[in-house]
Amino acid sequence: MKIIKSKNGTEMNIFKRFLIITLTSAFVFSACDTDELHDLNINPTAANEIDPGFILAYTQLQTSGERYENWRAVLIYQSTMMQHFATLPGYWAGDKYTYIGSYSASLWDRAWRNYVKDLVNLIDITKDDPEMVNYHSIARIWKVYAMSRLTDLYGDVPYFEAGKGFLETNFKPVYDPQSDIYADMLNELREAASALDASAANPGVQDLIYGGDIDKWERFANSLLLRLGMRISNVSSADAQSAVSAALAGGVMASNDDNCYIQHSDGPEGINRNGIGEVFNWNGSSYTTDDSPRLSEYLVTWMTSTGDPRLDKMSWRVGVDGLGGAPKGLPNGYDATTIQSHASWPTDPDPADAYTEMDDYSRINPLYVLRESPMIFMTYAEVLFLTAEAVEKGWATGDAAQLYADGVTAAMKQSSIYDASLAVDDADITTYLTNNPYSSADYERILGEQVWVATFLNEYETFANWRRTGYPALTPVDYPGNVTGGTIPRRLRYSEGELSSNPDNYAAAIARQGADEFTTRVWWDVN
């Protein structure tokens, strides 16, 4: 892998950079740190005179996330639980199934504080203006996306009353059953997609995802409907089939050009940057904020066994072989002491510093995790894999084998949005498909594994789809002091602040859903 000094990729135009700088100043109030839910819901500057386009862009950036929740909820917990990464430090609790309250609650705290209330406000201030129908519909679609991550990660959450502290002075919202949340989200996507109107006012460059392309927003809404419909396929098959059929009939993503992501920029403020990139903080030669993650042994073994050509592009190894060398994964569930007894540990270690030997394991190629890297929310490849699954279930027509092949191709090409050099050559894709043929008899495993690798760095989706399908068959760890009995967590725990700020509704939620523990399953997780 070639070490880079700067990213060779598409940058935001000057106007978009200026817009985001303006947003940083306009919404600096949202960076408050309080555990009180009523404070998280209040938006004292939300008013009709604020440009809806500014609110839209701000909420898109904040959903992409800051370093705070991307470090904790995305990387420390989900990426290691899903064995994309492995680490040794004890504060990487997800690698060891241990509990750190502020890490587990990081998405919860940031979502209510930063963007849920603003999406609710945007929907409210645009609802009665026919000319603002696209702003209104896009906000509804994006709110579903944001809320789906919250409910998938935690289970029952405030939904119908969420974010209404400013509008209705409701500072103690009820936690809604996930079944009710899903029913409404599916309905919202149907209605919002059908309401989009290319002849109405358009947010243009203030839409940081699709630049105001209404057709792409409609395809994304239907693609998200497909994802969420399939999510409930094991617990409510009739509703799932209805949603999947409606999504495919309405028109889903048609190519990688429809991929849903934000292209970030390296400053001048943190709001512009990719939160994952801020965690690694590449300075041109090394990672300077957190250099502990390595590619997981499970991931490297799986990709090696399948001959996956993406692995060489993902892996950056510095060790006994010098710069480069064959990819080598770090096993999950170890610390700096226990790793030295593992068979993969170097045979000639440096006794002065165990972490020196970590250069023997594969880091992630910096091109994937720069501060200006895109943040991916959903891709065409995922849509193809889900459609193939729908065909196998008899919910759609088509050739599942061809959808699989097209999905693999799209997944291997989609990394070009990070850098053109990361796209896989056509000949290598052909070889991979020849060596890894599709089989309807084993479709759940094949498609589940492909979604797992295609959603690398989009760990919210990786974790959710793994719980739904059970694939890949990850190997649990049994680190001393873990809180799950050596089983992979099924959710993250609520914010501890809820015990004091919203105790009655918190208690009602756990009485209905189950104990507020990593091992409690959300409604749709019955696999």
Q: What is the pLDDT of residues 54-64, one digit of tens each?
A: 999 999 999 99
Question: For residue 14, is pLDDT > 60?
Answer: no
Q: By percentage, how much of the chain surpasses pLDDT 70?
A: 88
10 vs 360, higher pLDDT: 360
Structural contact between residues 54 and 121, judged by C-beta atoms closer than 8 angstroms = no
Between helix 443-454 and helix 380-393 the angle, nearest 10°, is: 170
Whole-number pLDDT of residue 255 = 98
pLDDT tens, residue by residue, 68-118: 999 999 999 999 999 999 999 999 999 999 999 999 999 999 999 889 999
Which CATH topology does 14-43+53-276+371-513 take? Answer: 1.25.40
- Bridge partners (DSSP) of residue 260 are 378
| Separation CA 93–CA 132 (nearest Å) | 45
Rounded Cα gap, residues 99 and 333, in angstroms: 14
pLDDT band at 38 (very low <50, low <70, confident <90, very high): very low
Task: Tell me what pLDDT residue 351 has.
Answer: 54
pLDDT grade for 267, boundaries at 50, 70 and 90: confident
Q: What pLDDT does 154 receive?
A: 98
How many residues can be counted in the chain? 527
Judged against a pLDDT cut of 80, whether residue 329 lies above it is answered with yes
Structure tokens at 247: 């999504």
Q: What is the mean pLDDT of residues 203-209?
A: 97
pLDDT digit string (tens) for 338-361? 998 898 888 766 555 445 688 889
What's residue 270's pLDDT? 86
Q: Does 11 have pLDDT greater than 60?
A: no
What's the mean pLDDT in 260-279?
94
Lowest mean pLDDT among 33-42, 52-61, 351-360, 376-385: 33-42
List Cβ<8 Å contacts ≥24 apart for 344-348: 344/297, 346/319, 346/320
DSSP of 387-431: HHHHHHHTSS-S-HHHHHHHHHHHHHHHGGGT-GGGSPPHHHHHH
**Interval 276-290: pLDDT, tens:** 999 999 999 999 999
Report whether pLDDT(43) > 80.
no
> Which pLDDT band holds residue 46 (cuts at 50, 70, 90)?
very low
Q: How far is CA 137 from CA 56, 193, 314, 411, 463, in A?
A: 11, 7, 37, 29, 28
Check residue 9 and give its pLDDT.
37
Q: What number is the average pLDDT over the span 312-331?
A: 82
pLDDT score recorded for residue 281: 97
- Say yes or no to pLDDT of 461 above 80: yes
Question: With pLDDT > 90 as the criterion, what percentage of the chain qualifies?
Answer: 82
Higher pLDDT, residue 380 or 355: 380
Angle in degrees, CA 433, 82, 109, rounded to 5: 130
What's the CA gap between 449 and 470, in Å, rounded?
Answer: 9
Residue 41: the pLDDT is: 40
d(CA 447, CA 389): 7
On whether the pTM is more than 0.85, the answer is yes
The pLDDT tens digits for 157-205 are: 999 999 987 677 788 999 999 999 999 999 999 999 999 999 999 999 9
Mean pLDDT of the region 28-54: 48
Spatial CA neighbour of 288 closest among 297, 275, 279: 279
Across all residues in the chain, what is the average pLDDT? 90
